[in-house]
Structure 1
Amino acid sequence: MRMVVTMFLLGLLYVAFVGVLIAMGVQAVVVLVLAGGLLLVQYFFSDKIALFAMHGREVSPQEAPELHGLVDRLSALAGSPKPRVAIADSDVPNAFATGRNQKKSVVCVTTGLMRRLDPLELEGVVAHEMSHVAHRDVAVMTIASFLGIVAGLMTRFALYSGLGRDRGNNNGPPIGLIIMLVSMVVYAISFLLTRALSRYRELSADRAGALLTQRPSALASALVKVTGEMSRIPTRDLREAQPFNAFFFAPALSGGRAGASVATLFATHPPLERRLEQLNLIAAQLGRGV
């Protein structure tokens, strides 16, 4: 419900933004086409882009029999097509899943994650990632980010081209400046809404993964272990991985405990305490303790 409300607000913001542009007589077709083209590339090639950026490679059942067996078991439990399986050679303990649908998806875990987690914890993480695929989160986040890209491009377009500079009389309002300011405000709001949507999808994937495995305690243990191990990874390595925080099971670089502070508004993931609280409630519902 939170994700639906957030998407509705993003759509409402988009309609209002386009309405303002049309009212000002702005021909935004070029910007819309450019933004749409970028998002189509992101949507259709997200799996290849993510694997290339994270130096991940697909592995066969012979190369990683235990990992494939785990994915086979979870796919059977979920009644879903088996995603492609990949491993990234990185000491950063993390995992991600991407792909526009279940037939074109890939689940990737790092060597650092496989070294640090026991089989049940690893199962919980992979179940979490497969839930992202089942929920079509790549499509959801691609659509959600469209408005931000449009607003960002419009801001640059207005800034560098002097959009609307010659419109109206000399005593009239500077339309180009107004469009740039409106675009900046829209970008800021859409950025915050998209981050909120990302946090909601992480909570949803936690819940779905815990219910699929029936072991919320294993997922909670993995969260605690991964978060703790991040502090031991060189900062340089974490900063290289940080651009992919939205894909990851846990943020590579979060800046410490966010709690209810302003930092939470900019986070792609909920605070660890919030995720553990939800898992504890699920465990209580299942008659188990985390």
Structure 2
Amino acid sequence: MVVTMFLLGLLYVVFVGVLIALGVRALTVLVFAGGLLLVQYFLSDRIALFAMHGREVSPQEAPELHGLIDRLCALADMPKPRVAVAESDVPNAFATGRDQKHAVVCVTTGLLRRLEPQELEGVIAHELSHVAHRDVAVMTIASFLGIVAGLMTRFALYSGLGGRRNGGGQGGVPVGAIILLVSALVYAVSFLLTRALSRYRELAADRAGALLTQRPSALASALTKISGDMSRIPTRDLREAAPFNAFYFVPALSGGQSIATLFSTHPSLERRLDQLAGLSRELGKG
């Protein structure tokens, strides 16, 4: 993770350096991107709940869910996040919020119907690990470079810079074309690095969640059950959920193996199960 974050930072420095060297005045674009970053950072919990139709529930409305989260938070010695439920048959869960004081854990009704108590405990422990490690803040900041590069690409495309040239248009270097090329390249590289970071964070959350409950096999069972049940969910529902894959415990639509893995926000099911099996052996729970 440190290597990936270092490469993202280095990429950002090089990108800004190229812009300065080309004499580009992109302050407005950068300010706009910074504004988007702040909105996403401070309002991520509200945005996610609204987008995924989640509703906060009280202990009276969902006593078992609240009780489970109370126990896990006591074990982890962390503040209890807000608790929400989303009316969806897609079995999934997510956690969001910039820190532990502004976090929310949301599960779908489809998940609650399908999982046994120990399996649900494993999924919630995974999501609480995201909260404890401030993964939403980490991924928001990491994605900032991609946002800037994407905006710069649009800026170059729509402002007509492609026809400008240094030297008063007398056969010089097409500055707009260079900006477009560099921005697109930076966006592509940052996209891949951010996806790699996301996959690492998911593996880390799996491990931390399994260690918290001391039952890696329960989390593995939940992963297997949810992934298997996805194939029985209507494709339309999965496509509606797919844009939020980065938040979810299990992606609604997966690219499977091959090169598509590079673009995935989650490790493959096999990779996650292998890690949990190894952890079971370490804990002597075979």
The alignment's TM-score, normalised by the length of structure 2, stands at 0.98
| Residue in 1 that maps onto 2:149 | 151
Distance (whole Å) between structure 2 residues aligned to residue 37 and residue 48 of structure 1? 17
**Does structure 1 retain, via aligned residues, the 8 Å contact 2:81–2:102?**
yes
- For residue 6 of structure 1, what is the aligned residue in structure 2? 4
Instruction: Tell me the equivalent position of 1:204.
Output: 204
Report what 1:262 is aligned to.
259
Match of 1:87 in 2: 85
Which residue identity lines up with residue 280 of structure 1 in the other structure? A
Contact 2:206–2:272 under 8 Å retained in 1: yes
The CA distance in 1 between the partners of 2:23 and 2:112, in whole Å, is 56
Q: Is it true that 1:222 corresponds to 2:219 in the alignment?
A: no
Query: Once the two structures are superposed, what CA deviation does each residue of 1:134-158 show, in whole Å capped at 9, x if it has no partner?
Result: 1111110011100000000000101
Question: Which residue pairs with 1:100 in the alignment?
Answer: 98
| CA contact 2:145–2:190 (8 Å) conserved in 1 | yes
Name the residue aligned to 2:273: 276
1:44 aligns with 2:42: yes
Aligned partner of 1:168 in structure 2 is 167
- CA drift of 1:167 comes to 3.4
Give distance in 2, aligned partners of 1:116 and 1:285: 29
The answer to whether the 8 Å contact 2:165/2:173 transfers is no
Q: Following TM superposition, where does structure 1 have runs of at least 4 consecutive aligned residues deviating by more than 6 angstroms? A: none
Q: 2:188 maps to what in 1?
A: 188
Residue identity opposite 2:167 in structure 1: G
Q: Distance in 2 between matches of 1:268 and 1:116?
A: 24
**TM-superposition CA deviations, 1:170-201 (whole Å, max 9, x none):** 21110111110110011000000010010000
**What is the alpha-carbon root mean square deviation over aligned residues?**
0.9
* Paired residue type of 2:13: V
Amino acid at match of 1:80: M
Calculate percent identity across the aligned residue pairs. Answer: 81
Q: How many residues align?
A: 284
Counterparts of 1:55 and 1:278, CA distance in 2? 32
Q: What amino acid does structure 2 have at the position aligned with 1:167?
A: N
Encode CA deviations 1:47-97: one digit per residue, 9 max, x unaligned. Answer: 001100111100000000000000000000000000000000000000000
Q: CA deviation at 1:166?
A: 4.9
Equivalent position amino acid for 1:242 in 2? A
Instruction: Tell me, in whole angstroms, the C-alpha distance in 2 between the residues paired with 1:168 and 1:129.
Output: 56
How many angstroms apart in 2 are the aligned matches of 1:52 and 1:152?
Answer: 25
Match for 1:131 among 117, 122, 129?
A: 129
Q: Equivalent residue for 2:244?
A: 244
- 2:284 match: secondary structure: coil
Secondary structure of the structure 2 residue equivalent to 1:107? strand
* 1:281 Cα offset (Å): 1.0
- Cα distance in 2 between the residues matched to 1:168 and 1:67: 67
Unaligned residue ranges in structure 2 (runs of 5+):
none
Q: Quick one: which amino acid aligns to residue 118 of structure 1?
A: E
Q: Give how far 1:108 is off.
A: 0.2
Aligned partners of 2:273 and 2:218: how far apart in 1?
A: 11
Distance (whole Å) between structure 2 residues aligned to residue 88 and residue 19 of structure 1: 45
CA distance in 1, matches of 2:134, 2:52: 21
SS of the residue 1:45 aligns to? helix
